[in-house]
Structure 1
């Protein structure tokens, strides 16, 4: 049984489904909305995101993308600034985002090929977000992609995401 150990007078295992249900109920109390994005970029050729928007100002996303034919997965946190936000982000927003990614197919998270090392990366971004009342959203992010190769490397990264905030 997959579970999380909770410390009590005696040790007890709680199934992950119960933990997920508790988190879902807690999110119903706060203004939490699921979101999904898909789009192109450079050097990130294609990316997809699935996450939640919390109180119209912060989103947390699980992200999958292909950076120059190198599969990268990870987590991102995005702040939606400026403008009035209720349980949705502002119609026009200034975005700030931080993401940490790695290649899940590599052992241990890096691959040596022809002298090059493909490893994890950190993305720092600023950009613009537009969201309609119905939930359709466009995000344009420009920033730096920091890579832990044989030495620290940095390069530009631009992504466009089209999606929906439910």
Structure 2
């Protein structure tokens, strides 16, 4: 049951910037439910991936202009800190695909960019070098977990 709560929390956290209607939350959860059985979501590495995605998406809400970094880092951690398990990778991909499915038409360009960021993280890219720089106006320091002078654990 713990994983189900985390999955729901991650759904909320990753969709906050994208939508506000209840129908879209339900669509996102429905998308995940169509893809995965309950037992899949209880797998240890899937639980690990969910937690890594959740932490990074939650941080992105509190750290302005750092969405790309946290999106990349969440995908990186979901795969590489969860034993590079195929199921953890699959969960990470599903979050991207469900996000895209919900957004639908009109967001194709945004989705192409987000999908590239997601893939870069899942494939082991250096998210810090690619997305954590002052030119993007992102002021997050991963060594101190501080963004704009605020600790965002």
The structure that is strand-richer by fraction is 1
Structure ranking higher in helix proportion? 2
TM superposition score normalised by structure 2: 0.29
Higher RCO (C-alpha 8 Å, min separation 6): 2
Q: Which one has the largest radius of gyration?
A: 1
TM-score, scaled relative to structure 1: 0.27
